[in-house]
Structure 1
Amino acid sequence: MTGKVLIAYGTTHGSTAKIAEAVAEVLRKEGLTAEARPAPSVASIETYDAVVVGGALYTGRWHRDARRFVRRHRRALAERPLWFFSSGPLDASASQRDIPPVSGVRRAMDRLGARAHVTFGGCLEDGARGRVARMILRSGKGGDFRDFPAIEAWAERIAEELTAA
């Protein structure tokens, strides 16, 4: 397959957007056409041959924009290769073990036939807006826990599946 891949994402502070951009960059290096876009900006996925959807995790739920994207495009998503990722743990746990998808993401995976899901560490750094974000930072639990080598390896596996098809 030499098609076009969409990486749609829901993010609040931009951490998930950077993960989506890293996935798109790997797919492009592997010869695919890929673009990362905020989920609300995607009106249609008809021009894409495969889709990756990512969402930040907040209090056990996927980002609202990622949930809405999946719901809005569910029929078209079920017709193409589909992968999900989550970002969120503000510790090294995502690099140390496989963290299963939250229940809403699991249900969407089952309904749409998504090929895989992975959870990556999140990032919350000084300057983040919002009362909860400031509380987390004041408690010393912020930081950047994204593992870009793991993100790139996961994207390479997606590229292998797509180019082998």
Structure 2
Amino acid sequence: MAEILVAYATKMGATKEIAEAIAARIRSASHEATALDAAEVSSVEPYKAVVLGSALYAARWRPEAVRFLQRNAPALARKPVWLFHSGPLGADLSAQKAPRKVRELATRIGADQPTTFGGRLTPQTAVGFFAKRMAQGSMAGDYRDWDAIELWANHIAEQLVAAR
């Protein structure tokens, strides 16, 4: 079992790709890390630290990410936890406020509020009527800033090294 869990909840795969990049960066800092779908994680007890990311749609987190936080809150309160969400599209990629329930859970477990990363919406990956329509318009594209994601993952890796 890896020592660091990077869990994610995604609809179209972009958040999974971010989680995998974060796990890879943490591994490059000599930690064992694994990226898993949040819905597939039965317990966080075996892990020393947890990173959780969710796709952000219409200012909402994926339900499986919220359930992950609720189900694991007591154990997460005893571990270092980092949260992120991805989803903003277009030129304005300013930080997005997490939904009220996620903000409350973050406070309860002692985690900082989620970091925001841009999302991806393309005709090839769009799922659902509205997403497919949006993917045909001006909002389509990949707005993930891989340098910012790597910088954030580096920060996590540094904190994990300092905690050793």
- Where 2:116 maps in the other structure, the secondary structure is strand
- Where 2:45 maps in the other structure, the secondary structure is coil
Matches of 2:101 and 2:137 in 1, distance apart?
Answer: 28
The change in CA–CA distance for 1:116 and 1:45 in structure 2 (over 3 A counts) is same
Unpaired runs of 5+ residues, structure 2, are: none
Question: Given residue 101 of structure 2, which amino acid in structure 1 is its aligned partner?
Answer: G
- TM-score (norm: length of structure 2): 0.92
Unpaired runs of 5+ residues, structure 1, are: none
Matches of 2:80 and 2:4 in 1, distance apart?
Answer: 9
Matches of 2:62 and 2:132 in 1, distance apart?
Answer: 18
Percent of aligned positions that are identical: 44
Map residues 76-87 of structure 1 onto 2, 5 A cutoff.
Answer: 76-87=75-86
Task: Count how many residue pairs are aligned between Structure 1 and Structure 2.
Answer: 161
The change in CA–CA distance for 1:44 and 1:8 in structure 2 (over 3 A counts) is same
- TM-score (norm: length of structure 1): 0.92
1:111 is matched with: 108
- Where 1:70 maps in the other structure, the secondary structure is helix
Do the aligned residues in 2 keep the contact of 1:85 with 1:119 (CA within 8 Å)? yes
Question: Given residue 122 of structure 1, which amino acid in structure 2 is its aligned partner?
Answer: G
2:90 is matched with: 91
1:156 is matched with: 154
1:134 is matched with: 132
Question: Given residue 107 of structure 1, which amino acid in structure 2 is its aligned partner?
Answer: E
Do the aligned residues in 2 keep the contact of 1:5 with 1:50 (CA within 8 Å)? yes
Map residues 29-68 of structure 1 onto 2, 5 A cutoff.
Answer: 29-68=28-67
Do the aligned residues in 2 keep the contact of 1:62 with 1:104 (CA within 8 Å)? no
Question: Given residue 130 of structure 1, which amino acid in structure 2 is its aligned partner?
Answer: G
Do the aligned residues in 1 keep the contact of 2:60 with 2:98 (CA within 8 Å)? no
Question: Given residue 138 of structure 2, which amino acid in structure 1 is its aligned partner?
Answer: G
Do the aligned residues in 2 keep the contact of 1:10 with 1:63 (CA within 8 Å)? yes
Show CA shifts across 1:11-34 (max 9, x none): 000000000001000000011111
The change in CA–CA distance for 1:80 and 1:91 in structure 2 (over 3 A counts) is same
Quote how far apart the aligned CAs of 1:116 are. 5.0
Quote how far apart the aligned CAs of 1:115 are. 3.7
Deviates more, 1:70-79 or 1:7-16: 70-79
